[in-house]
Structure 1
Amino acid sequence: MHISQILDKVDSGDIALPEFQRGYVWTRDQVRGFFQSLYRGYPIGGFLTWSTKAENADIRGEKPTQDGTIHLLLDGQQRVTTLYGVTRGEPPRFFEGNTSTLTGLHFNLQTEVFEFYAPAKMKDNPVWVDVTALFQGGLGSQLLAVTQLAAGDAELQASYIERLNRITQIKDRNVHIDEVTGDDKTIDVVVEIFNRVNSGGTKLSKGDLALAAICAAWPEARPTMNQALSTWSDAGFDFKLDWLLRNVNAVLTGEAQFSKLADVPVSAFQTGLAETIDAISYLLNVLGGRLGLDHGRVLNGRGAFPVMSRLLHHHGGTFPDAMTRDRLFYWYIHSFLWGRHTGATETALNQDLQAVDEGGVDGLIDVLRRNRGGHLVVRPDDFIGSSMGSRFYPLLYMLTRVYGAQDFVSGVPLRDGMLGRLSSLQVHHIFPKARLYEHGYSRAEVNAVANFCFLTQDTNLRVGAKKPIEYLAEIENRMPGALASQWIPMDRELWQIENYPDFLAARRELLAQAANEFLQTLHDGPSPMELMPSATALIPKQPSPSDGSEDHETDIPGFTALLAALEEAGLAKPELDSEVCDPRTGAAIVVAAAYWPQGLQEEVGMPVVLAPDTTKEEQAALEASDYRVFHSADSLRRFIDNLRSEQLTG
């Protein structure tokens, strides 16, 4: 079948995408490489479709209006989407992904290479031809430009026309299509076939399989869930589809395994999904109001949400009283501090779901206490971690909020979303980074959690890189109590650069004491019940404290260039200062400067870690957990350049 016929069938709805397929994941380099192969006449492989009755088809996007048979793409989504997006100038109706990957492809008439639009070298330059405009306007739309470019050279003009014609004829190329047909081809069988033919790519997860079965009976399931995810994202919280489905599963079945959803009727799933969405919104609002955890950067312990959603389910969607709320949050904080749900997710979740069903909040606390060897106490050494990826960074932010820590200059209690110019919160290094690097301290020492506090942007700018002994003394004289409210040791000898390790030790003691006092308050409850926002009306998104990503170039040479290379290639954005854990045990291995948990290309390839300073033990643990580790931004950038080169020539 001609490529043009395939694209026409996409337009008519005769070729569509099954609901269980993931979205578009190709990068710009893969798009360029694909068109380079098409232009050179290289093999591009065939396609595989599943022929099924249109009235029973569970497809992505608009539903078919025709009767009869519809063909669902099992193998070829990325290629068909790329062909459609570049030739039509817009993505197909089933598209889910980054549209910029498909826009701006240009062809150089002289070098015969494809590149994406770069104004500096392509604007008003007739050598570069817009590929989408060529497909839409035809060869005739480019003849005037070719004539002017060739400047009367008939042979060169003919050569340019032949090259453009070769591009337009891509749509006339024949490709082979295999079909999966027959009444015996159930959704389970087809998903198995899909996983087999995509063995080199990303297989469907257990959540994908469960969602595929649900969508077969209720096609609106995925769009409804995506809408909820979008609403939370607009409020500053980014969650995954699997995570939401896990919450729904817990609410409906009280179990962690997705397979349990197979026995849930569609009507029950619809009701349970609506209840779960409301419960999560309610939890986000209450966590922000009670604990100050009001943006995604400090919302650790996401794996605990299914348990909290289940508890709300038992109480009609809200906390019955302040005691229940505070004791649940006591459990929640300890669960993320000790990595309760970062390892064998289903095992821990099943234990906790059973505990909450049988013993409520007290049952949860008992299970966690036994898991921790009988104690739930924060010790000073727990704050030894470095960077904002540490589990104890959210705890520091929470303490700042719940205790009303004061800004150093204004003395105003700090909160997120403060109004006024230069009033947004920023992470502040108490001992400035520049001063510490001058004295030979390592990156991990400089970015120790115990060296962080939160200030307004204005105060942060005023402090700058001043010596602690100077600016801390000035603050204490002008604004007594502000330093103590941020757990700054008041022994002025500790403010000397040479005494920095002792300063960290003393501050860890103060932070641990404050943490245990607040956690005990939650445990003992009750606290006065604040007025809580409704379950469905999320608190508007607030700007989160600056994460310091603009400072990574100081810590890691070449980091800015690395981020630029990632953006140019259309690769995934990393999580900065992110804790990397052993996937089997959930134990923290290291806090990475940058981390790609789903690979450099979203959901394709092994997880990638950029960790400049690792011990032999950390390196061994990362390798044993199948992480690909880089120790400098330059080495990772060279790897990316090689990867891009392979995609273009492969």
Structure 2
Amino acid sequence: MSTQKYAVNQHLISTLLSWVKSGDIAIPEIQRPFVWDATKVRDLMDSLYQGYPVGYIIAWRNPTVKLKDGSLAEGKKILIDGQQRVTALRAAILGLSVVNKDYKTVKIRIAFNPITERFEVTNPAIEKDKTWLADIAPIINGDIQTHRVARAYLESNPSTNEDLIFERLDRLTDVIKKQIGLIELDADLDIETVTEIFIRINSKGVVLSQADFAMSKIAANEEFGGNTLRKAIDYFCHLAIAPEFYTHMAENDATFAKTDFFQKMSWLKNENDDLYDPSYSDLLRVAFTSNFNRGRLADLVGLLSGRNFETRTYEKDIEEASYQTLSDGVKEFINETHFKRFTMIIKSAGFVDSGLIRSQNALNFAYTLYLKLKRDLGNEAKIESWVRRWFVMSILTGRYSGSPESWFDYDIKQVAHRPFAEFLADVEAADLGDGFWEAGLIQSLNTSSTNSPVFKVFLAAQARLADQGFLSKDITVRDMLTHHGDIHHVFPRNFLKKQGLTQTRYNQVANFVYLQQEVNIKIGDKAPVEYMKIAFQQCETKEPVYGVITSTEQLKENLKRNCLPTAIEDYEMDNYEQFLVTRRKAMAEKIKAYYYAL
């Protein structure tokens, strides 16, 4: 027997707007900023006027919650798709302001020409033109009676047909009687089912993440400050990318500017570091996982609904406590000391540029781990080392590349219930044994992708160990990474192309080094055996040609630190494949030594 997972009904626009007004349908102030261009609002009104369909909106009813006195409160509908259309209707018909994509509160006024039956976004020219009604909102919502509008219009346009104007105004006011489809999802559905239904219904194939569902629920809750919490998450993420947004936020959202959240994130106004610019999904995941000891955001949605996982009921006490716990987690995340200390730890592992970080999930769990250990263990000296090792381990093994939520859930439960040093040792024994270092890692370096996570770890190792760039005496790999220097081929690309090698062969990461551009230009397409001979000869003549190294001892040290062979014959074309094999092994050994020194 199949159960109906959702109901589909047509409702009058007026009914929908009355539900929004009463709060029966919760439209978060900043679920997502209103990103529609004003012309799309105009087009929506034209479609309604013409009687064209305007699609469905989708709402998910909150579960019925048990109150403290034992009574039951029926849940509100949370809008999960159609916010832009509903916001557009509120703006055009009710005359309400919207928060645009620049987070500015603006009014969108739509004008109507009864003679031509055209809609336009109101502008100064239209306001001066007597054939236009500059704002349809008070006409449609009844603030101004239609016959008064008609009489005033006819006085300004005396040659106009009176019956025509009344007929057109009647059609305009009938817009509010047009219907819109509402798909209401059952309160008992889990997130996975809701997601599946959403994808199947949504003709654009848009996928909402679990974070989107969580954010919709948070934003719609005013009772426990969810609407303010949602703003805090959204504003922090925006401010992290655009510090100049601070002044705008302070000036345009005076209510939020008085909150504790605003004070705690104000440090971002002078912050330009982009190593970790979290999205709202990142922030939400870290705050949730570190404070609830759970890794699945579906559980957060349940907890914010007041779900008791044991009795499978919904209780107000749990809902209230969950909002408080999440709020605490968000404050911990945005805390200046925590955030800067964490990014410093990541940089101290050699990840000095955001381009080196290929796994946002690894970064998110590392911050989760830092916040959790900091809260539980205080100033334990080993926390920084543990966080560095865990971060690098998770990148090397691809721990969070598949089923990240399951791994988050497993790992945080282990961290919560076991001594961390013991857990880390078990993971290293299982995932970083001899087979990994001596075979798996070397094989991972057999790639032509410079975005390979393990290659990024190799570069981070060079940055941490202060290695000089290839043939450089003073310029380090760290310098070139932070200043976005160039990466070059040891066996020059054009040289190898002339030998008939394909792109996947000459672009092997084991053939790449950080090299000063001026040195690379001098080398050009020369055979590596030729320019390496000159590099060694200049150590005898003391007349630099490639770089400024004029000491054989320094040159050999430079080659070793770049995991390159010191024998000139290794740079013969016939030895290219063996060169790659040898260098991959040396790179893996360097990564291993670097890891255990973290």
Which residue, 97, 113, 138 being the options, matches 2:126?
A: 138
Question: For residues 460-479 of structure 1, what are the structure 2 equivalents within 5 Å?
Answer: 460-476=520-536, 477=538, 478=544, 479=549
Residue identity opposite 1:250 in structure 2: T
Residue identity opposite 1:363 in structure 2: F
User: Once the two structures are aligned, what percentage of the paired residues are identical?
Assistant: 22
CA contact (8 A) 1:469 1:492 kept: yes
In structure 2, the CA distance between the partners of 1:20 and 1:440, relative to structure 1 (3 Å rule), is: farther
Q: Any stretches of 5+ residues in structure 2 without a counterpart?
A: 1-10, 62-75, 105-118, 132-170, 242-271, 304-317, 539-543
Determine whether 1:330 maps to 2:389.
yes
TM-score (norm 1): 0.54
Partner in structure 1 of residue 562 of structure 2:
486
Distance in structure 2 (CA, Å) of the matches to 1:465 and 1:270: 59
In structure 2, the CA distance between the partners of 1:73 and 1:508, relative to structure 1 (3 Å rule), is: closer
Residue identity opposite 2:504 in structure 1: A
CA contact (8 A) 1:275 1:317 kept: no
Partner in structure 1 of residue 288 of structure 2:
249
In structure 2, the CA distance between the partners of 1:39 and 1:351, relative to structure 1 (3 Å rule), is: closer
Which residue, 328, 331, 352 being the options, matches 1:274?
A: 331
Deviations 1:17-41 (A, max 9, x none): 436855678899x979x89x97997
Determine whether 1:93 maps to 2:98.
yes
CA contact (8 A) 1:307 1:349 kept: no
Which residue, 235, 238, 251 being the options, matches 1:227?
A: 235
Deviations 1:219-263 (A, max 9, x none): 122222233334544522343322221211221111112244314
Which residue, 205, 208, 211 being the options, matches 1:204?
A: 208
Partner in structure 2 of residue 103 of structure 1:
none
In structure 2, the CA distance between the partners of 1:192 and 1:356, relative to structure 1 (3 Å rule), is: closer
Distance in structure 2 (CA, Å) of the matches to 1:493 and 1:181: 72
Residue identity opposite 1:207 in structure 2: A
Distance in structure 1 (CA, Å) of the matches to 2:126 and 2:173: 13
Partner in structure 2 of residue 367 of structure 1:
427
Moved more, 334-343 or 378-387: 378-387
Distance in structure 1 (CA, Å) of the matches to 2:524 and 2:210: 50
Partner in structure 2 of residue 293 of structure 1:
351
Q: Any stretches of 5+ residues in structure 1 without a counterpart?
A: 53-69, 100-130, 144-169, 523-650
In structure 2, the CA distance between the partners of 1:299 and 1:193, relative to structure 1 (3 Å rule), is: closer
Partner in structure 2 of residue 600 of structure 1:
none
Aligned with 1:509: secondary structure? helix
CA contact (8 A) 1:26 1:78 kept: yes
Distance in structure 1 (CA, Å) of the matches to 2:381 and 2:60: 56
Distance in structure 2 (CA, Å) of the matches to 1:400 and 1:492: 23
Partner in structure 1 of residue 488 of structure 2:
428
Distance in structure 1 (CA, Å) of the matches to 2:349 and 2:191: 46
Residue identity opposite 1:366 in structure 2: D
Which residue, 437, 458, 461 being the options, matches 1:377?
A: 437
Aligned with 1:335: secondary structure? helix
Question: For residues 420-569 of structure 1, what are the structure 2 equivalents within 5 Å?
Answer: 424-476=484-536, 477=538, 478=544, 479=549, 480-481=554-555, 482-522=558-598
Residue identity opposite 1:302 in structure 2: Q
Distance in structure 2 (CA, Å) of the matches to 1:14 and 1:223: 21
TM-score (norm 2): 0.59
Partner in structure 1 of residue 448 of structure 2:
386
Distance in structure 2 (CA, Å) of the matches to 1:42 and 1:491: 81
In structure 2, the CA distance between the partners of 1:84 and 1:393, relative to structure 1 (3 Å rule), is: farther
Deviations 1:176-234 (A, max 9, x none): 3438699x998989999898577224353322233333331321222222333345445
Distance in structure 1 (CA, Å) of the matches to 2:493 and 2:172: 57
Residue identity opposite 2:332 in structure 1: E
Distance in structure 1 (CA, Å) of the matches to 2:190 and 2:339: 34
CA contact (8 A) 1:436 1:446 kept: yes
CA contact (8 A) 1:463 1:471 kept: yes
Partner in structure 1 of residue 322 of structure 2:
265
CA contact (8 A) 2:470 2:559 kept: yes
Deviations 1:418-439 (A, max 9, x none): 79xx964222222232332332
